Amino acid sequence: MGPLCAERWVVGPKTVLSTSHTESFFQSPTPISIGKVLLADDDPIFRHLVKTWLTRWNYRVSTVDSGLAAWELLQREDPAEMLILDGMMPGLNGADLCRKVRNQPNSRYRYIILLTANDHQRDIVAGLDAGADDYLTKPFDAMELRARIRAGRRILDLQEALLKAQGDLRYQAEHDALTGLLNRGAIMSVLHKEVKRRERTGGQLGVLMADVDHFKQVNDAYGHLAGDTVLREVGQRLTDALRFYDSVGRYGGEEFLAILPGCNPADLAASAERLRFIVARDPVLCHAGPISVTLSLGGACEAQPEIDESELLLRRADSRLYKAKTNGRNRVELAD
- For the domain covering 8-172, report its CATH number: 3.40.50.2300
- DSSP secondary structure string, 37-84? EEEE-S-HHHHHHHHHHHHHTT-EEEEESSHHHHHHHHTSSS--SEEE
Please name which of 168, 325, 297 lies closest in space to residue 237, comparing C-alpha atoms: 297
Pairing of strands 36-40, 82-86: parallel
What average pLDDT score do residues 73-100 get? 89
CATH 3.30.70.270 occupies which residues in the chain? 184-334
Mean per-residue pLDDT over the chain, rounded = 86
Please name which of 99, 60, 98 lies closest in space to residue 80, comparing C-alpha atoms: 60
The yes-or-no verdict on residue 19 having pLDDT over 50 is no
Of residues 81, 194, 233, 254, which has the active-site annotation? 254
Pairwise pLDDT comparison (79 vs 242), residue with the higher score: 242
Per-residue pLDDT tens for 139-179? Answer: 888 899 999 999 999 999 998 899 899 999 999 999 999 99
Please name which of 210, 211, 214, 221 lies closest in space to residue 290, comparing C-alpha atoms: 221
CATH 3.40.50.2300 occupies which residues in the chain? 8-172
Decide if 254 is catalytic.
yes
pLDDT reported for residue 41: 93
Please name which of 220, 335, 238, 237 lies closest in space to residue 288, comparing C-alpha atoms: 220
Return the minimum-mean-pLDDT range out of 34-38, 41-45, 99-103. Answer: 34-38
- Cis before 139? omega within 30: yes
DSSP helix, strand, coil percent of the chain (3-state; round to 5): 50, 20, 30
Query: What is the reported pTM?
Result: 0.68
* Identity of the residue numbered 213: D
The yes-or-no verdict on residue 60 having pLDDT over 60 is yes
Please name which of 178, 209, 161 lies closest in space to residue 33, comparing C-alpha atoms: 161
Please name which of 260, 324, 316, 257 lies closest in space to residue 294, comparing C-alpha atoms: 324
Pairwise pLDDT comparison (7 vs 152), residue with the higher score: 152
Residue 223 CB burial class (10 angstroms; 0-12, 13-18, ≥19): middle
The proportion of the chain whose per-residue pLDDT surpasses 90, expressed as a percent, equals 66
- DSSP secondary structure string, 248-299? EEEEETTEEEEEEET--HHHHHHHHHHHHHHHHHSPEEETTEEE---EEEEE
- For the domain covering 184-334, report its CATH number: 3.30.70.270
Pairwise pLDDT comparison (88 vs 222), residue with the higher score: 222
Return the minimum-mean-pLDDT range out of 102-111, 152-161, 278-287. Answer: 102-111
pLDDT reported for residue 239: 97
